[in-house]
Amino acid sequence: MKLYDIVVVGAGPAGMMAAIRAGQLGKNVMLIEKNDTIGKKLKITGSSRCNITNTASLNIFIEKFGRKGAFFRSAFSSFSNKRLMSFFEFKGLKFKEENQGRVFPVSDKSRSVIKVLKEYLSENRVKINYKTRLVRIKKKKDYFSLDLGNDNYMATKKVIIATGGISYSSTGSTGDGFNVAEKLGHKIVSLKPGLVPLTVSEEWVKDLQGITLENVRFTVKIGKKKIVSDIGNLIFTHFGISGPLVLDLSNQIVSILEKNETVNLYIDIKPEMTVPELEEKLINELEVRSKTEFKNFMKLFIPNRMIPIFVELLEINPKKKVNQVNKGERNKIINLLKAFPLTITGTLPINKAMVTCGGISKKEIDPQTMESKIVDGVYFAGEIIDFCAPSGGYNLQEAFSTGFLAGESAAKSLNPKEE
């Protein structure tokens, strides 16, 4: 049986980068992928535009990966956002920066990112076996035997596991890597949905499906205790809420929901105005439009389709002329505009989450090399590692950086004298 220097499992961004780097360092690399194509999830990232990284500084990157974010310092330093962009620019791919430092290819196509990766894979002589699924790793005396099912085996000196998480399983990320790692003795930190839409108990949310609220303030409370507050855009869906702001805050909300059955959410629809400013505006408009019916008047403040919900929650006659709106009703309008309430009951299932939080415990991986501390010669890269990051290009940068470091470390470990 042929003995490879390195077998990389999973042709997502992490696995492809690991294979390319090991190939660049002259190793005989095999990349195995259970799909019949590379980068199936990468293709749908950023609505197929691929938010590949972020322009944030190294310290911000580490902050975004939470309390134990420093684990990724070596990976982000070895292959930073700047180095990632140069890597692609070298092959002619140009980038642009959008809001909050998000970086996209100028082409607005994830396909162009995959094309460059293909070029690098081929010029570094990485062999790719498609429709090949790793089932189990067996450690032999001085090599690994990879069980590929149906009595097929592959032999390798080093193995890099980059099989991703368990969300959007149709792209191939079905969690095989967790089973393989567990059998090797690794601990899996419990898997939870990350960047996931939220469900709410209010039935009427269905009537708001498709409405986007831009630059609203989103305040999450348990009882009276404020937990999180942030400004951004949200979209109502038939089950609850989604959109960039919701997805980003969902990581924290998932943890809160573990200890609380429901979480209260208040949307400040007019965060740019203080309560006195909003009151002044409301009083002026009520005077100017005194003969307007209440239901038409509210168009000044909220999207049309939200008006019936407002009317119901405020218990104000929709046909009432606004010159008859009294002070108590005015206060109720202001309260609802500043704190439109929703009750969060949960999230969509993990398969509908953009990322999987949790994974191989970071305590069992050497951050300098990505090598397992449990089994020498096994490396991990990408979403399979335990972390939970916000949207903005951070997840793909993590995949590319840890992939690069794992590929480089595995290759260098085969000829330590050259280091």
Ligand X SMILES: Cc1cc2nc3c(=O)[nH]c(=O)nc-3n(C[C@H](O)[C@H](O)[C@H](O)COP(=O)(O)OP(=O)(O)OC[C@H]3O[C@@H](n4cnc5c(N)ncnc54)[C@H](O)[C@@H]3O)c2cc1C
* Per-residue interface string for the shown chain with ligand X, residues 285-324, x marking contact by CB under 6 A: ----------------------------------------
Consecutive H or E run containing 248: helix 244-259
Restricted to residues 341-360, the positions that interact with ligand X (CB under 6 A) are 354-355
Angle at CA of residue 229, ends 270 and 345, nearest 5°: 100
Restricted to residues 21-50, the positions that interact with ligand X (CB under 6 A) are 32-35, 40-42, 44-46, 50
- Does the protein bind ligand X through residue 69 (CB under 6 A)? no
- Does the protein bind ligand X through residue 194 (CB under 6 A)? no
28, 51, 156, 242: which one binds ligand X (CB under 6 A):
51
Which residue's CB is nearer to ligand X, number 264 or number 372? 372
- Does the protein bind ligand X through residue 254 (CB under 6 A)? no
Which residue's CB is nearer to ligand X, number 42 or number 302? 42
Q: What gap in Å lies between CA 358 and CA 109, rounded to an integer?
A: 29
- Quote the least distance from Cβ 49 to ligand X, whole Å: 7
Count of residues engaged in binding ligand X, rule: CB under 6 A:
40
**Three-state helix/strand/coil letters over 254-282:** HHHHHHCCCEEEEEECCCCCCHHHHHHHH
Which residue's CB is nearer to ligand X, number 35 or number 401? 35
Please state, in angstroms and as integers, the Cα–Cα distance from residue 369 to each residue in 17, 31, 362, 409, 414, following that order. 14, 19, 12, 5, 13
Restricted to residues 397-416, the positions that interact with ligand X (CB under 6 A) are 399
Restricted to residues 162-181, the positions that interact with ligand X (CB under 6 A) are 162-164, 167-168, 172-174, 176-177
13, 232, 377, 390: which one binds ligand X (CB under 6 A):
13
The DSSP bridge partners found for residue 268 are 217
Buried residues in 241-261 as b, exposed as e (16+ CB within 10 A): bbbbbbbbbbbbbbebbeeee
Q: What gap in Å lies between CA 12 and CA 109, rounded to an integer?
A: 16
The DSSP bridge partners found for residue 332 are none
- Does the protein bind ligand X through residue 192 (CB under 6 A)? no
What is the signed CA dihedral for 25, 27, 33, 37, rounded to 10 degrees?
60
- Does the protein bind ligand X through residue 88 (CB under 6 A)? no
Which positions touch ligand X (CB under 6 A)? 9-15, 32-35, 40-42, 44-46, 50-51, 133-134, 162-164, 167-168, 172-174, 176-177, 354-355, 382-383, 393-396, 399
